[in-house]
Chains A and B, each alone.
Chain A
Amino acid sequence: MTDLTRMTAAQLASAIASKEASAVEVTTAHLDRIDAVDERVHAFLHVDREGALAAAERVDRGEVTGPLAGVPIAVKDVIATKGVPTTAASKILEGWRPPYDATLVERLRAAGTVMLGKTNMDEFAMGSSTEYSAYGPTNNPWDLGRIPGGSGGGSAAALAAYEAPLAIGTDTGGSIRQPGAVTGTVGAKPTYGGTSRYGLIAFSSSLDTPGPCARTVEDAALLHSVIAGHDPRDSTSIPQPVPDVVAAARRGGSGDLAGVKLGLVKEFAGDGSEPGVLAAFHESLEALVKLGAEVVEVSCPHFQYALPAYYLIAPSEASSNLARFDGVRYGLRTGDDGKHSLEEVMSLTREAGFGPEVKRRIILGTYALSSGYYDAYYGQAQKVRTLITRDFESAFEKVDVLVSPTTPFVAFPFGSRTSDPYQMYLADLFTIPTNLYGGPAISVPCGLSEGLPVGFQVMAPTMADDRMYRVAAALESAVGTFTPPAL
Chain B
Amino acid sequence: MAAISREEVAHLARLSRLAVTEEELDRFAGQLDVILQSVARIGDVAADDIPPTSHSVPLTNVYRDDVPQPSLTQEQALSGAPDAYEGRFRVPRILDEED
Contact = CB atoms under 8 A, between A and B. Distances in A.
A422 B92 contact: no
Given A312-B39, A342-B93, A380-B43, A351 B19 contact: yes
Interface in B48-79: 50-57, 59, 62, 64, 72, 76-77, 79
A421 B31 contact: yes
B94 interface: yes
A331 B89 CA distance: 13
A389 B43 CA distance: 18
Which of under 10, 10 to 19, 20 to 34, or 35 or more describes the interface residues of B?
35 or more
Contact of B16 (A362, A377, A381): A362
- 8 interchain residue pairs of minimum CB distance: A438-B56, A382-B52, A330-B80, A333-B82, A206-B55, A308-B39, A383-B47, A99-B76
Contacts of B72: 99-100
B91 A311 contact: no
A483 interface: no
A107 interface: no
B74 to A, nearest CB: 11
Interface string A356-394: 100110111011001000001101111111110100000
A332 B83 CA distance: 10
A348 interface: yes
Contacts of B44: 305
A383 B50 contact: yes
A460 B52 CA distance: 22
A74 B51 CA distance: 41
Contacts of A238: 57, 59
A46 interface: no
B55 A383 contact: no
Interface of B: 4, 8-9, 12-21, 24, 27-28, 31-32, 34-36, 38-45, 47, 50-57, 59, 62, 64, 72, 76-77, 79-83, 89, 91-94
Contacts of A351: 18-21
B80 to A, nearest CB: 4
Given A206-B55, A341-B92, A367-B4, A347 B83 contact: no
Given A100-B72, A311-B39, A342 B91 contact: yes
A192 B57 contact: yes
**Most chain A Cβ neighbours within 10 Å, of B38, B39, B47, B81:** B39
Given A232-B64, A363-B28, A364-B35, A437 B45 contact: no
A328 B89 contact: yes
Contacts of A333: 82-83
A236 interface: yes
A235 B16 CA distance: 27
Given A331-B80, A367-B12, A383-B50, A192 B18 contact: no
A343 interface: yes
Instruction: Say what secondary structure dominates the interface of chain B.
Output: loop
A96 interface: yes
A336 interface: yes
A330 to B, nearest CB: 4
A336 B28 CA distance: 27
14 contacts: A192-B57, A307-B39, A308-B39, A327-B82, A338-B93, A342-B92, A342-B93, A347-B14, A356-B24, A367-B36, A377-B42, A383-B50, A383-B53, A389-B56
A362 B8 CA distance: 14
B5 to A, nearest CB: 11
Contacts of A348: 19
Nearest to A423: B34
A308 B43 CA distance: 10
A379 B52 CA distance: 7
B18 A311 contact: no
B10 to A, nearest CB: 10
Contacts of A420: 31, 34
Interface string A415-441: 000001110010000000000111100
Contacts of B16: 319, 350, 362-363, 366
Given A307-B39, A308-B38, 12 more contacts: A99-B76, A193-B56, A193-B57, A236-B59, A308-B42, A336-B92, A350-B17, A351-B20, A363-B12, A377-B39, A438-B55, A439-B56
A329 B94 contact: no
A235 B60 CA distance: 9
A363 B94 contact: no
Contacts of B21: 351
Given A302-B45, A331-B82, A354-B18, A341 B94 contact: yes
Interface in A311-350: 311-312, 319, 323, 326-333, 336, 338, 340-348, 350
Contacts of A377: 39, 42
B17 A192 contact: no
Contact of A383 (B15, B45, B91): B45
A136 B94 CA distance: 36
A386 B51 contact: yes
A97 interface: yes
B56 A437 contact: yes
Contacts of A326: 17
